[in-house]
Amino acid sequence: MPRSCPFAQVDVFSAVAYRGNPLAVILDGQGISDADMQQMARWTHLSETTFVLPATTEEADYRLRIFTPGGEVPFAGHPTLGSAHAWLESGGSPRDPELVVQQCTAGLIPIRREGGVLSFAAPPTTRTGPLEPDFLSRIVAAFGIDSSQVVAHQWVDNGPGWAVLRLATAQQVLALEPDLSAIPDAMVGAIGAYPQGSETEFEMRTFAPGVGVAEDPVCGSMNASVGQWLVRTGEVAGPFTVSQGTRLGRTGRISITPDDDGTVWVGGNTTTLFRGTALA
């Protein structure tokens, strides 16, 4: 027989309700089979649905499993912040009042709490370096741009398989009309800079046909690894803000804050918009 589980739907990375990236959080995932988790994620048809479970290590406050419509991923950014928010709001009590520790397939993810805003520590990338010429050519063709528009490119994979192209301007990023059928297995983003003095420093777009998501409204994991890349190469030297979701009518804002020790923190607003129960 199906049972009722506490459920929350959280808007992540926007201060304006219904303008960020929605996340479905099942706050008690115990006893739900892998197949049922995947079916629920397909049904919600959000970029991610998460399942909160008891931690299996004393270092973590809870364990999280993260599903896209196309499969499970080891780590994702907006599900990390949204799930931590929902867990705290439902009565979760972290060992450290200023730091939540999430256990997921990618390892232990620290999430700090500052002034009501959550930020996660970007996990290490599992793959870096420039894209292979053939793969780069396929992405350029799918994006419908000329190779001369690509300022830089990089593998920025922290679990989902991300690659990114850096274009010269935010407007070039916003103008993209990608043919994702040409790169059906790709997990790829594009980032471009706004003029100095703009509200945000960069515009990001993220395309994930490889897991059944055409365009992710606001993507924390992509911003995390791209932030690490930009900091590592000296393209940025201090905190900066990325806007994302503009083409989808969203107002995503992602704060990237590098620490002196090299840790890159990724933060943004989190707001519960729906709360209730789900059958599982």
Positions annotated as catalytic residues are 48
Residue 142 near residue 182, CB atoms below 8 Å = yes
How far is residue 187's CA from residue 209's CA, in Å, rounded to a whole number? Answer: 7
Angle separating helix axes 220-232 and 77-89, nearest 10 degrees: 120
**Both tokens assigned to 174:** 């916003």
Helix (H) and strand (E) counts in the chain: 5, 17
- Give the contacts of 94 (CB within 8 A, at least 6 positions apart): 61, 88, 100, 101
How far is residue 232's CA from residue 172's CA, in Å, rounded to a whole number? Answer: 24
Q: Which residues pair with 275 in a beta bridge?
A: 8
